Amino acid sequence: MTWVLGTMLFWAAAWALNIRLAASGLTRSRAGRLIVPAIFGLTLLGVWEGLVRGLQVPSVILPPPSAIAAKIAASTDLLWVDFLQTFVKGALSGYAIGCLSAILVAVLIDRSAFLKAGLLPVGNFVSALPIVGIAPILVMWFGFDWQSKAAVVVVMVFFPVLVNTVAGLRAAEVMQRDLMATWGASYWQTLWKLRLPAAMPFIFNGLKIATTLALIGAIVAEFFGSPTQGMGFRISTEVGRLGLDMVWAEIAVAALAGSAFYGLIALIERRVTFWHPSQRR
Amino acid sequence: MKAILPVLAVIAAIVVLWYGAAVWMNAAWVRDQAARAGETVSFAQIVPQTLNQERPVLPTPHQVVAELWKGVAGQAVTSKRSLVYHGWITLSATLLGFAIGTGAGILLAIGIVHNRAMDLSVMPWAIASQTIPILAIAPMIIVVLNSVGVTGLVPKAIISAYLSFFPVVVGMVKGLRSPDAMQLDLLRTYGASQGQTFAKLRMPASLPYLFASLKVGVAAALVGAIVGELPTGAVAGLGARLLSGSYYGQTVQIWAALFAAAVLAASLVAIIGLAERLTLRRMGMDR
């Protein structure tokens, strides 16, 4: 009971602190904008820990964060193997293939108005579909190892990137294109020096959406069959053995990997599209 | 008509490619059979044999359509083989989750817009959580809730709600903030209260954003419901059809379930698009 009461007090105190901080001038600085969400995140973890202990929730239902952290520390090598299998082999290779081919196809179909008019509605339609459902088929075609995961990822990231790139290639203004024409620039020069750079904000929008999809695709595809390693494999088997702390450890790794991947792409975006209004501060 | 023609051409090209791929991928099996019987087959003999296999590597479009038709019209709606039955199970979880997720998302967005502390603490996490592969948690949620005694519709709906929640939060926060300073100032000169500002300016201004996120959210909710059906041991629903199809090598069944899911997703998005057009036209915000 004391744990529950203490948790309530902790929550109230942390929230009051956040309200004070939010009202103060601190939040105008960069550090202040980081500190408030950090306190909120820590509060959530504290409340989780306190409630699990206070209400004596069995660890097969919800392990406390401390137990998950201990599990992560105790099984880093296993987590690393899973990470390599799912993220590096499955998700990253599929992401690279899918995004590159989508950009190439977008550049190709951009030359034909007919193809654009035909493919864009189809592409939009396909990006709204539950494409993860294709996972069992691809696992059947490409076998249990990472190739089938990469194939699922390719299919999942292809259409969002394609649709965004085609939209981006339209972003260069007529005036700018005319200017290129007056300089006697060839099609490929115009593409390389004007239209692709102008399309970058759109392309990166697609690339950022695709980061999450890539990890989801790689993990879900493992539910349909995988070698005896990989995050999806570990999650589904540990759930069966009620080893919930290991499951949460995998989820923490997945969350970290997903956020880091997204952050990396966002960082590259800031470097590449520094000229765009949305990057100004 | 001018807009439909290229789309039809592309779809026709896809179907042709599909048949070609089906012949190419299924031919190995035909050659195998022929080699076992000690015969050699010519290409003209292979083609017809690849189009109607029992368990093809890639079923042909007409096989999938036939299976879909059999699943939708050829069975009693309550039958376990009916795609309508499985579709309804998935759809009900989707809709329940979508309703919960949307409601909670709108409430949280209202809180974020009106409370600076909430904005600063919750919003970064709401955005960060979109980069996390939430679907990976789905099987765990299902199993845990099952062990607590919550079964059936609710666990799937929770996953759907979670997936549709964040697009709605992010879109609604953007939408509720979309009125510019001039409009907000005008309402202040009228002496409007915060509630009135919300009801008369922020809420109507946010609707285009809301509908855009609803479309994303409903598609995400359907994916959530389908994936939520995977770890429950394939009882019912489109996800269960996918899983049992992959267990027993029934490729035609997988493709039919996939297409049923696609049709479901497309019609859900289309319904929201229709509601969007009607609402925005009624409000004079039609583009």
- Cα–Cα distance between B201 and B184 in angstroms, integer? 8
Claim to verify: residue A53 and residue A92 sit in the same structural domain: no
Distance to chain A for B237, nearest Cα, Å? 13
- Cα–Cα distance between A149 and A70 in angstroms, integer? 30
pLDDT, tens digit (0-9, with 9 covering 90-100), for A245-263: 888 888 888 888 888 888 8
Claim to verify: residue A101 and residue A216 sit in the same structural domain: yes
pLDDT of amino acid B219: 86
Confidence of residue A104 (pLDDT cuts 50, 70, 90): very high
Distance to chain A for B110, nearest Cα, Å? 17
Domain count, chain A: 2
pLDDT of amino acid B1: 57
Domain span at B166: 83-282
CATH code of A242's domain = 1.10.3720.10
Distance to chain A for B132, nearest Cα, Å? 5
Q: What is the DSSP string of B46-64?
A: HHHHHHT-SS-SS--HHHH
Please give the residue of chain A at the shortest CA–CA distance from B140. Answer: A239
Claim to verify: residue B131 and residue B8 sit in the same structural domain: no
* CB spacing of B136 vs A250 below 8 angstroms: yes
Is A81 part of a structural domain of the chain?
yes
Provide, as residue numbers in chain A, all residues whose Cβ is less than 8 Å from the Cβ of B140: 235, 239, 244, 247, 251
- Are B228 and B93 in contact, with CB atoms under 8 Å apart? yes
pLDDT of amino acid A268: 92
Claim to verify: residue B268 and residue B199 sit in the same structural domain: yes
Distance to chain B for A259, nearest Cα, Å? 5
The A residues from 170 to 199 touching B (CB cutoff 8 Å) are none
* CB spacing of A258 vs B254 below 8 angstroms: no
Picking from A132, A136, A236, the nearest residue to B231 by CB comes out as A236
Claim to verify: residue B224 and residue B264 sit in the same structural domain: yes
Claim to verify: residue A204 and residue A239 sit in the same structural domain: yes
The A residues from 72 to 111 touching B (CB cutoff 8 Å) are none
pLDDT of amino acid B255: 84
pLDDT of amino acid A166: 87
Claim to verify: residue A152 and residue A233 sit in the same structural domain: yes
Claim to verify: residue B27 and residue B165 sit in the same structural domain: no
The ipTM (two decimal places) reads 0.73
The count of other CB atoms within 10 Å of the CB of residue A73 is 9
Is A66 part of a structural domain of the chain?
no
Claim to verify: residue B96 and residue B44 sit in the same structural domain: no
Size of interface A-B (CB pairs under 8 A): 158
- Cα–Cα distance between B168 and B129 in angstroms, integer? 13
Q: Shortest CA distance to B258 belongs to which of A133, A91, A16?
A: A133
Provide, as residue numbers in chain B, all residues whose Cβ is less than 8 Å from the Cβ of A216: 133-136
Is A25 part of a structural domain of the chain?
yes
- Cα–Cα distance between B46 and B30 in angstroms, integer? 7
Which of B36, B55, B74 finishes a domain? B55
Which of B55, B70, B95 finishes a domain? B55
- Cα–Cα distance between B50 and B46 in angstroms, integer? 6
Instruction: Give me the residues of chain B with pLDDT under 70, please.
Output: 1-2, 77, 131-134, 136, 139, 231-234, 286-287
Q: Shortest CA distance to A90 belongs to which of A6, A185, A156?
A: A156
Claim to verify: residue B50 and residue B98 sit in the same structural domain: no
Is A63 part of a structural domain of the chain?
no
Provide, as residue numbers in chain A, all residues whose Cβ is less than 8 Å from the Cβ of B226: 130, 132-133
The count of other CB atoms within 10 Å of the CB of residue A117 is 18
Provide, as residue numbers in chain B, all residues whose Cβ is less than 8 Å from the Cβ of A232: 136
- Are B140 and B220 in contact, with CB atoms under 8 Å apart? no
pLDDT of amino acid B131: 66
Claim to verify: residue A152 and residue A269 sit in the same structural domain: yes
Claim to verify: residue A95 and residue A36 sit in the same structural domain: no
Q: Average model confidence (pLDDT) for chain A?
A: 84
- H/E stretch holding B41: none
Is B231 part of a structural domain of the chain?
yes
Claim to verify: residue A90 and residue A199 sit in the same structural domain: yes
Distance to chain A for B52, nearest Cα, Å? 18
Nearest-Å Rg of the Cα atoms of chain B is: 25
Claim to verify: residue A106 and residue A218 sit in the same structural domain: yes
Tell how far CA B209 is from the center of its chain. 19
Distance to chain B for A184, nearest Cα, Å? 32
Claim to verify: residue B240 and residue B116 sit in the same structural domain: yes
Please give the residue of chain B at the shortest CA–CA distance from A211. Answer: B131
Confidence check: pLDDT of A195 > 60: yes
* CB spacing of B249 vs A258 below 8 angstroms: no
Please give the residue of chain A at the shortest CA–CA distance from B230. Answer: A223
Using DSSP, state whether A93 is helix, strand or coil: helix
Claim to verify: residue B101 and residue B162 sit in the same structural domain: yes
pLDDT of amino acid B271: 92
Claim to verify: residue A50 and residue A80 sit in the same structural domain: no
Query: What is the largest distance, in Å, between two alpha-carbon atoms of chain B?
Result: 92
Picking from B10, B124, B261, the nearest residue to A122 by CB comes out as B10
Is A137 part of a structural domain of the chain?
yes
Claim to verify: residue A52 and residue A77 sit in the same structural domain: no
Which of B12, B36, B55 finishes a domain? B55
Domain count, chain B: 2
- Are B6 and A115 in contact, with CB atoms under 8 Å apart? yes
Claim to verify: residue B28 and residue B157 sit in the same structural domain: no
Claim to verify: residue B138 and residue B268 sit in the same structural domain: yes
Confidence check: pLDDT of A5 > 90: no
**Percent of chain A residues past pLDDT 90, beyond the cut:** 10
pLDDT of amino acid B101: 92
| Contacts (Cβ under 8 Å, ≥6 apart) of A142 | A148, A151
Claim to verify: residue A123 and residue A256 sit in the same structural domain: yes
- Are A139 and A225 in contact, with CB atoms under 8 Å apart? yes
- Cα–Cα distance between B182 and B200 in angstroms, integer? 15
Using DSSP, state whether B163 is helix, strand or coil: helix
- Cα–Cα distance between A82 and A84 in angstroms, integer? 5
Provide mean pLDDT across the span A55-83: 85
Is A62 part of a structural domain of the chain?
no
Confidence of residue A99 (pLDDT cuts 50, 70, 90): very high
Is B75 part of a structural domain of the chain?
no
Claim to verify: residue B257 and residue B167 sit in the same structural domain: yes
- Cα–Cα distance between A219 and A226 in angstroms, integer? 10
DSSP 8-state code for residue A92: I
| Contacts (Cβ under 8 Å, ≥6 apart) of A155 | A98, A131, A134, A138, A217
Claim to verify: residue A227 and residue A121 sit in the same structural domain: yes
For residues B92, B94, B100, B105, the Cα torsion angle rounded to the nearest 10 degrees is -160
pLDDT of amino acid B286: 64
Is A109 part of a structural domain of the chain?
yes
Is A241 part of a structural domain of the chain?
yes
Claim to verify: residue B110 and residue B212 sit in the same structural domain: yes
Q: Considering only A17-26, A96-105, A150-159, which range has the smallest mean pLDDT?
A: A17-26
Domain span at A30: 2-57
- Cα–Cα distance between B55 and B32 in angstroms, integer? 14
